Every structure is written in C-alpha cells, then in structure tokens.
Amino acid sequence: MIAFVRRRPLLTGVVAFLVLVLLLSSFPTVPETRQAVVVRFGKPERILNRYEPGRPIGSPGAGLSYRIPFVDQIVWIDKRVLAVDMEPQPVLSTDQRRLMVDAYARYRIVDPLLMYIRSTTEENLKSQLQTILRSEVRNELGRQTFAALLSPERQGIMDDVRNSLNAQASKFGVEIVDVRIKKTDLPDGTPLQSAFESMRTAREQEARSIRAQGLKQAQIIRAQADADASKTYAASFGQDPQFYDFYRAMQSYLTTFVGDGQDKPAPTNIILSPQNEYLKEFTGRNAPPK
C-alpha cells in the first residue's frame, strides 16, 4: 500500500480527494430550516427532517444523515413558514361595489413528498398557491356585502377563506397557517372620488350643524338672561306698581329730553298749555285758600 503510494503519489492524491468528496456527500447535514426528499433514480426513497406539528426544535430529524452518492439525489424543501403574496385584486361585493383587496397567505410544507410529486420545485408551488389564493379570495369575498368586506375578520370570513384554501392546498402537501387581508382599497377613479366627495359633504354638514348648535345655545343664553332680568325687575318694581310708574316716567323724561349722557337727544320744542300740571302755580289758580 505504502509502496503504491510512493510510486503513484498523484493518483493517490486524486483518489484520496475523491474519497473525501464521496464521504462528505454520503453524509449530508440537514439543517433545522429544511426538509428533504431523497430521490433514487427519480423515485422518492425517504424523507429527511419532515415537519411534524408540536415537535420541539432540536429533536431528531435535522442533523447528520446519509445517502448513496450519485445514486440518491436530495431535493431540499423549506421547512419554515413561507409566504405567498397576492397582487391587489378587484373584488365585487354583492351590492355591486368594487374593492381592491391585497391578501397574503402563510403556509408550511407538511408533506414534502406530495409537494415534490405535485409541484417539483418551491417556485412552482408558490405560483400554484398564488392562483388558488387569488380565486379563493375572490370567491369568498364576492359573497359578502361591501360593509362586511371592510372588516372580514369580524364575521369569520377569513376563516372560511382559510378553510377552503386549505382544502385546495392540502393536495400539494401544504398546510395554510394563515390568510390575511393586508389592504382593502377603493379603486382609483370614480369610487375613490365619490368617497372623497361623501367625506367632504359629511364634513360640511358637520360644520353647519356645529354652527347652528352654537347659535342655538347663544340664543338660549340670551333668552335666559332676559328672563332673569325680568324676574329681578318684577321682584323689585312689583312692590309698588304706581310708584314705579311715576319713577320710571321721570327717568324716561330725562332720557328722552335731556339724554342719558351718552347721546345728544333730538332737538325738542315743548309747547305748554297753562293747564299743564307743571304750570299750575304759574297762573295762581290753585292758590290755596287763605
């Protein structure tokens, strides 16, 4: 053996190298994030590190494995939760209103063998799932009214979408973890503009109503003040209506003919008859009897 090595060092080197490569390729390491299908001449042989629900990380599955070099091929398949995203999709509600819906689904490949048989690669699977997601979202949401579409979680609509999606996806060895609506938008153009318009008119209505309410309250406050003032006056003046009449008349004359100190009253000519009460002493008529 040693003699052979000495005679043909290069050959030995090459052989040793090949042995090393063979050795390495016979014992592939399976990471936690992947599962694999071992295919022998096109026929699936074994599944490595298959996903099983509830199994903790670090349990047997991942780690060192084996294969027959050149005979067994390993097809790696992701074990993690993957995402499939949908292009925004117009959905027509039962009340004939259009909404752009953007949804995504999270899924996990639970049966790598089935997935390998049906889709071969993860890219294929993704595009297949995308198609299914699109049609399911449209089907399920198309049965709803517009108001229900706005918050599909509340009515459990998303659960329906997930269940029907799951039924389809299980044929590909895929379990749908979650389907969610990322965005619901009004389509550009008329629907968006009319939404803006309705917002605008609603605000205008609100503004008017606020002003009217303000005016109403102001009026009530004034009326209340008037009423209070009347009450105060009545309580005071009601003590002697006759004297009030006289007192107020005197005030009134002053204000009318002399002014209240602020405005100059209109010019006045007074023509008095001698019969006037004020002039009764002027004529001496009412002189007390002596």
Partner 1 sequence: MSNILGWGGRVRGLFTDDKGPWGPSSSGGDEPPQDDGHGGPWGGSPGGRRVLGGRTVIPIEEMLRRGRMRFRGGGGRPDGSLILWAVLGFIAIWLIFTSTHSIEPGQRGVVTRFGRYSYTLGPGVGLTLPSPIDRVQKVDVESIRSADLGSQSSEDLMLTGDQNLLDIAYSVRWNVKNPEWYLFQLAQPDETIQQVAESAMRSVISQVTLQDAMGDKRSEIETQVADRMQHILDGYRSGIAVQGVAIQQADPPAEVNDAFKEVTAAQQDAKSYINQANAYALQLTAKAQGEAAAFDKVYQQYKLAPEVTRRRMYYETMEQVLAKVPKTIVEAPGVAPYLALPQVQKTQSQQEQQQ
Site for partner 1 in 159-218 (CB under 8 A): 177-178, 180-186, 195-196, 198-200, 202-204, 206-208, 210-211, 213-215, 217-218
Please report whether residue 57 would count as binding partner 1 according to CB under 8 A.
Answer: yes
Smallest gap from residue 288 Cβ to partner 1 (A): 14
Residue 34, classed as helix, strand or coil, is strand
Token reading at 289:
């009897």
C-alpha to C-alpha distances, 245 to 149, 198, 240, 242, 253, nearest whole angstrom:
75, 61, 9, 5, 12
Residue 216, classed as helix, strand or coil, is helix
Please report whether residue 4 would count as binding partner 1 according to CB under 8 A.
Answer: no
Please report whether residue 150 would count as binding partner 1 according to CB under 8 A.
Answer: yes
Q: Which helix (H) or strand (E) holds 72?
A: strand 72-78
Q: By CB under 8 A, what part of segment 107-146 binds partner 1?
A: none
Smallest gap from residue 120 Cβ to partner 1 (A): 19
Strand partners of residue 174: 109
Piece in contact with partner 1 (CB under 8 A), picked from 39-47, 113-121, 131-139, 148-156? 148-156
Ramachandran angles phi, psi of 223, nearest 5°: -60, -40
Piece in contact with partner 1 (CB under 8 A), picked from 67-75, 110-118, 124-132, 263-271? 263-271
Letters for 59-98 (x = contact with partner 1 by CB under 8 A, - = none) are: -xxxxx-------------xxxxxx-x-------------
In terms of CB distance, is 171 or 216 closer to partner 1? 216
In terms of CB distance, is 71 or 247 closer to partner 1? 247
- Residues 6 or more apart whose Cβ sits within 8 Å of residue 105: 83, 84, 86, 129, 133, 165, 176, 177, 178, 179, 180
Candidate residues 278, 286, 287, 288; the one interacting with partner 1 per rule CB under 8 A: 278
Instruction: Give the C-alpha separation, 78 to 49, whole Å.
Output: 10
Please report whether residue 286 would count as binding partner 1 according to CB under 8 A.
Answer: no
